[in-house]
Amino acid sequence: MVQNSRPTNINAARTQIPNSPQINELDQRPCPYFLEELQAAFRDPSSPFHLPPGTQGPESPDSPPDPAHLAAALGLSESVEALEPLEEARRKLLKAGLDPGSFWEQRVVWGDHDSFQHVNNVRYIRFFESARIHWMLSLGEELGGPDRASAMISAQGVSLILKSIEVQFRRPVRYPDTLLIGYRPLRLAEGHSDPATFFVTASAYSLSQKAFVAHSKEALVWYDYDNLKKCDPGERAKEVVFSRIRKE
């Protein structure tokens, strides 16, 4: 009769594999050694496991590492820009005074190209429109929560309509790319007498080119959809809009 020669436990396996220091070492190393080693990694600024004082670790082992910690561990600059193009774009828009409540990520698709092998100029009007609607939603949220935000993009009550738009093209954009677009209102000129109209500017920043590729200047009008005419939206609405001005 043939007998089963497979070991039935780890000790039997160890007797059959005498040159297996990994098993012996793991079996003999005390548990506190691993804890001390892990705690030392948490304290070491050059370790990817480093946790600065006063901070917490990731919510789960699968969470991505913090870019700044990873840069330090790899010997790179502490600047996040090299690791996070979107974060760099956000910083550029904030530096330009654009309202973070308006920031809109616009992915460029192949169909945005024309025969000249770059994004067609007309597409930018749609890109700015998407960012503007996103900004309107944030204004509506501040004015009256989700219900007001929904009404502002559903032709209900008082909302905003586009009167005019002028686009300045700075760089051609090609697929693949993502644009980060932001808005900010402009201060009214002295002597401005139309309470229904105000002006905004917007900019589109290319993540791949790391540069602004287009700017727009637009006239927006407060419009009463219930009465089908432009209107004075009231001091509260104007206060919310012009509180978004960050920089001239």
Domain boundaries, the chain: 21-73, 85-242
Closest CA to 93 of 210, 203, 232: 203
User: Span 24-40, mean pLDDT?
Assistant: 58
Locate 3 and state its tokens.
């007998």
Averaged pLDDT for residues 100-109:
97
Fold of 85-242: Thiol Ester Dehydrase; Chain A (3.10.129)
pLDDT computed for residue 83 by the predictor: 47
Residues 6+ apart with CB under 8 A from 203: 93, 96, 98, 181, 182, 212, 214, 215, 216
Q: Mean pLDDT throughout 40-52?
A: 67
Convert the pLDDT of each residue in 184-213 to its tens digit.
999 999 999 999 999 999 999 999 999 999
135-173 pLDDT, tens digit each: 999 999 999 999 999 999 999 999 999 999 999 999 999
pLDDT(8) > 80: no
Q: Is the pLDDT of residue 31 over 80?
A: no
- Please give the distance of CA 45 from its chain centroid, rounded to a whole number: 27
Give residue 17's pLDDT. Answer: 44
Q: What is the mean pLDDT of the segment spanning 217-244?
A: 98
For 166, the token pair is 């002028």
Amino acid making up residue 203:
S
Q: Model confidence at 39, in pLDDT bands (50, 70, 90)?
A: confident
pLDDT at 196: 98
Alpha-carbon torsion (137, 154, 186, 193), positive or negative: negative
pTM metric for this prediction:
0.67
Average pLDDT, the chain: 82
- The answer on pLDDT for 216 being more than 70 is yes
Structure confidence at residue 37 (pLDDT):
72
Tell me if residue 188 falls in helix, strand or coil: coil
At 92 the pLDDT is: 97
84: its two tokens: 């996070």
